[in-house]
Amino acid sequence: MVKVGVSSWFGNVTEFEERTREGRFDEPYPYSDADQFRKELAVADLVEPLGFDSFWTIEHHFSPYGMTANPTQILSHVAGRSKNIDLGTMVLVLPWHEPLKLAENLAILDIMLDGRKLNIGIGRGFAAREFNAFGIPYETSRERMAECLEIVRMALTEEFFSFDGEHFQIPRTTIRPRPLSADLTENFLMTWASPESLEMAADSGSGPLFTNYRGWDALREQLGQFDEVRSSHGWEPSPTAIAVTVYVHEDDAYAKEVGDQYWRKTSAMTTWHYDRVGSEYFMPDASDEERAKVVADNYEGQASAGIFGSPEAVIAQIRELQEVANVGHLITLHSFGDMPLEMIETSMRLFANEVLPTIKTFGSATEPFAVPFAEVLKDREATRAAAR
């Protein structure tokens, strides 16, 4: 049985289009960040009453693309306003974090959830504007991520530990409070954007998380490679967690037209944030036509992540996705572009009434899972012993 959640990006598309993209910083905000937060939190308040299983948010900094600088703080707010839903991150960008503070934040949130599941999605990140502002060289990102992941998993599973790495040196210490869950490392999911990161994710024992896939064939191929690496360690394949953008309307043609309209706006902001057309980072001398072509090309690459249509059409697309990717947890984005809250709520309610009961019956009853950190350590030791 598939679990179905909702995500929010907290992106201020209106301000991006009318102010930031054009560099009109002497003009007032057309739509405030605070108003955008209120809108997204109103979406979060719908998740539990409408029968969804979970709420997820992302991590981004320094631009209107995703104003989610502290995901665990946002999730703590949602935890306090709900009783039954699970929570998740998609993703915490590990190279930007001080690992001890991150482990503490996760332990605190786990206690606040009081038995509900905390899905810990992690990733490497790659937006230059974020790495540059943090003063973290991107070329160190993979090593920083590996060390941060190691420390966080140690902190969550060992009362006392130490670490001596290239980027982090930690004397014998402990984090308090201790997490409530017996082993939070079973909840780790990892996304990737390169073959090297795919291998790292599978070798780490993390479950597979897709937040930006590009078509069924690429999805099937990457998941096959992921499972092959896991199998080399003797680990079972895991169902996937996968994020999709959704807009539902009784009129199939209208839903596709509207979904495409608003998703193109989000896609343009995504392209800008990741420096494909970001002023000082990429194409500084390009013409408007050249920039428009980059945005259009990137939209076509991202279009696979959008599912727009009537309830019947959406069900059919999600069924196909489930068959390709063995989906255990579907994460749906309903608020995108500068779509008004009334339209978002109407689509969510129709999805909840007409789509949710059917798609929850798809597939197996298992959620994505990570190999417990203790098992990962045993596998490492066995590998070292075999090499001696």
Closest CA to 18 of 10, 8, 27, 7: 27
Q: Name every residue whose Cβ is closer than 8 Å to that of residue 176 and which is 6 or more positions away in sequence.
A: 104
pLDDT mean across residues, the chain: 93
Q: Which pair of tokens denotes residue 354? A: 């007409």
pLDDT interval class at 385 (50, 70, 90): confident
Residue 335 has pLDDT above 50, yes or no: yes
What does the pLDDT average to over 200-207?
97
Domain 3-378 fold: TIM Barrel (3.20.20)
Residue 140 CB coordination number (10 Å):
14
Per residue in 84-101, pLDDT (tens digit) is: 999 999 999 999 999 999
- Residue 279 is predicted with a pLDDT of 42
CA 143-146-151 angle, to 5 degrees, is: 125
- Please report which confidence band the pLDDT of residue 309 belongs to, taking 50, 70 and 90 as the band edges: very high
Which residues fall within 8 angstroms of residue 334, CB to CB, at 6 or more apart?
6, 43, 246, 247, 344, 347, 348, 351
pLDDT at 304 > cutoff 80: no
pLDDT tens column, 183-195: 999 999 999 988 9
Spell out a b/e string for 300-324, using b for 16 or more CB atoms within 10 Å of the CB, else e: eebbbbbbbbbbebbbebbeebbeb
Distance CA 93, CA 335 (A): 22
Structure tokens at 321: 């996705």
The residue among 8, 2, 67 whose CA lies nearest residue 345 is 8
350-355: Cβ within 8 A, 24+ apart = 350/248, 350/249, 350/250, 350/311, 351/246, 351/248, 351/311, 351/314, 352/50, 352/51, 352/52, 354/248, 354/311, 355/248, 355/311, 355/314, 355/315, 355/318
Mean pLDDT over 364-388 rounds to 91
Residues 22 and 1: their CA atoms lie apart, in Å, by 46
Per-residue pLDDT at 303 = 61
Tell me the mean pLDDT in the region 34-49.
98
Q: What is the pLDDT of residue 100?
A: 98
pLDDT of 379 over the 50 cut: yes
Per-domain residue ranges of the chain: 3-378
Least confident of 63-77, 114-128, 277-291, 345-359: 277-291
Give percent of the chain above pLDDT 90: 82
Q: What is the mean pLDDT of residues 330-343?
A: 97
pLDDT at 302: 63
Q: What is the pLDDT of residue 236?
A: 95
Q: How far apart (Å, rounded) are the C-alpha atoms in residues 339 and 359? A: 25
Q: Is the dihedral of CA 65, 53, 322, 199 positive or negative?
A: positive
Residue 145, pLDDT score:
97
Question: What was the pLDDT predicted at 283?
Answer: 54
- Determine which of 114-118, 214-218, 339-343 has the lowest per-residue pLDDT on average: 214-218
pLDDT at residue 126 tops 70: yes
